[in-house]
A and B are shown apart, each in its own frame.
Chain A
Amino acid sequence: MASKFKQALNSGKFVITSEIGPPKGTDLEKMYEHIDLLKDKVDALNVTDHQSSVMRFPSIGGCLAIMERGGKPILQMTCRDRNRIALQADLLLAYNKGVRDILCLTGDAVPVGDNQAAKGVFDLDSVQLLHSIRQLEAGSDLGGNELAGAVELYTGATVTPEAVPLEPQLIKFEKKIEAGAKFFQTQAIYDLDRFAKFMEYARQFPVKILAGIVLLSSARMARFMTANVPGIFVPQELIDELAQAPKGGALKKGIEIAGRMIADLMENSICDGVHIMAINREEVVPDILTAAGISA
């Protein structure tokens, strides 16, 4: 049976997902709080896989916790830490436990993380991981050996609409579609006109696009991301808007901006939904939804 997330996307509804970052350690209380706060307010919760190459409680563990608490998980899988044997095995486990939605990523580089001497695996890349899932669905593993029980998964991937240069990024986007990616989560977008242009191009493919919404918590953060994060450009007007917020009010302004963007994307049917990344401020996601005029 199709997952609720897939059903939601195929229903034409404007879909909202958010993110759960598992903790570093075995104390899961904070993660449980975030899950309980968000599980009924969004269509699915996307669990990060050692995001930024920082070692944490595993993504599959976060997904199991979400299901136990009545939410709907999307399992993020990166290619950084596991070879093809381990990735396939984890996909079997995820399927067996009821996970149906997988986001396939290359994974950040090891040196940006907190175990910097680790070996980066990258036995597969994101396109190959998507193809591997197709093979597991067809009933065999990557060695061509028959499975006793296959998987059936709804797979997605990421795209950076403002990558420079853009064409290699779009070629890879199309390779991911050919490999069976059905939904895409974008890198954070802030310039809606430019995003609308990307969507004109993306609309020719039979895939669902969730715009990446990263909460801006201050003008400083906005400038930092523009200067340092590949493919993220915060327009000057938004930076000014944050800078002009009253003292202590920048976060509130950031929530307002995120809400406004979501409302705009939704009202003008620019894309199929949004993926909200509040990065360590998951507790304000409901405020963002309220600011967008979405009542849960």
Chain B
Amino acid sequence: MKSITKQKPFDEVKQLIETFNRIYLIGCGTCATMTKTGGIDEVQAMKELLHDEGKLVTGWVVIPTACDEMTAEMIAENEKAVQDAQCIIVMACALGVQRVNSSWQKPVIPALDTLFVGLEEGPGEFFEACDQCGQCILGETAGICPLTACHKGLLNGPCGGTNNGKCEVDPEKDCAFTLIYERLKEQGRLDLMRKYHPPKNYQVMPRPRKTMVLPERGK
């Protein structure tokens, strides 16, 4: 999974930290490094920007994977610099922000906006791949998810805005149903396109979603 982020405008971050003078900075060595939004280079650049604003950066760290439970240990290892700070700016996706937030009582400030869960298509090019709906239909749609790949998330075929294989909302974007159609045709499975998909269950797992991985079964 790749959590795709973009940096918030610095003015927005500045506003969020208006009342804080001593700041600790956390980046992420996984997704935010890959998207060049919260890796070592970006954390250092943020440190410079904060310095120019007259803020004191008490320390910084790029946690290998900010969303996992190691984060609490990393914060503990850097306890002094963290305790010196009035807030932590997190340059990771919202998962990283919330992980830090659960490990520390003081204010946690996100420096990134989390856009989507995506796949890398080409260098630096990401596309949204899954809406995490809880009821996967990829087996009937040639492995292409209409819920995310179609602007409207339709299930029963293209709308009237389909345009030479592109979407009317953005000519740079493919029409999901043209892709699904071509792929199913190639596979000799066009009958799947004729299948009626009833209204989706949007309460497969009511929000907020939570699950417990079952202990080993079959023993």
Interface residues of A (CB under 8 A from B): 80, 84, 106-109, 111-112, 120, 122-128, 131-132, 142, 158, 160, 163-165, 167-169, 171-172, 174-175, 178-179, 187, 230-231
Interface assignment of B16: CB less than 8 Å from any CB of chain A: no
Interface assignment of B101: CB less than 8 Å from any CB of chain A: no
Could you tell me if A125 and B196 are in contact, using CB atoms closer than 8 angstroms?
A: no
Q: Which residues of A contact B168 (CB under 8 A)?
A: 109, 112, 230
15 A-B contacts, Cβ less than 8 Å apart? A106-B152, A108-B161, A112-B169, A122-B154, A125-B155, A127-B157, A128-B198, A131-B198, A142-B199, A160-B160, A164-B165, A167-B181, A168-B162, A172-B156, A172-B158
Could you tell me if A165 and B159 are in contact, using CB atoms closer than 8 angstroms?
A: no
**How far, in angstroms, from A191 to B154 measured CA to CA in the complex?**
29
Among B162, B190, B196, contact of A175 (Cβ-Cβ < 8 Å): B196
Nearest CB on B from A49, distance (A): 14
Number of interface residues of B (CB under 8 A): 29
Interface contact tally, CB-CB below 8 A = 90
- 1/0 per residue, CB under 8 A from A, across B161-191: the answer is 1111100110000000110010000000010
Excluding A109-B169, A168-B162, A168-B178, 20 further A-B contacts by CB distance (< 8 Å) are A84-B199, A107-B152, A109-B152, A112-B169, A122-B153, A122-B154, A125-B154, A126-B156, A128-B198, A131-B196, A160-B160, A165-B165, A167-B181, A168-B157, A171-B190, A175-B196, A178-B196, A187-B160, A230-B163, A231-B163
Q: Which residues of B contact A165 (CB under 8 A)?
A: 165, 178, 181
Q: Which residues of B contact A172 (CB under 8 A)?
A: 156-158
Interface assignment of B194: CB less than 8 Å from any CB of chain A: yes
Among B164, B169, B202, contact of A123 (Cβ-Cβ < 8 Å): B202
Nearest CB on A from B113, distance (A): 15
Q: Which residues of B contact A84 (CB under 8 A)?
A: 199
Among B160, B169, B197, contact of A231 (Cβ-Cβ < 8 Å): B160
Q: Which residues of B contact A187 (CB under 8 A)?
A: 160
Q: Which residues of B contact A107 (CB under 8 A)?
A: 152
Nearest CB on B from A82, distance (A): 13
**How far, in angstroms, from A149 to B122 measured CA to CA in the complex?**
56
Could you tell me if A171 and B199 are in contact, using CB atoms closer than 8 angstroms?
A: no
Nearest CB on A from B182, distance (A): 8
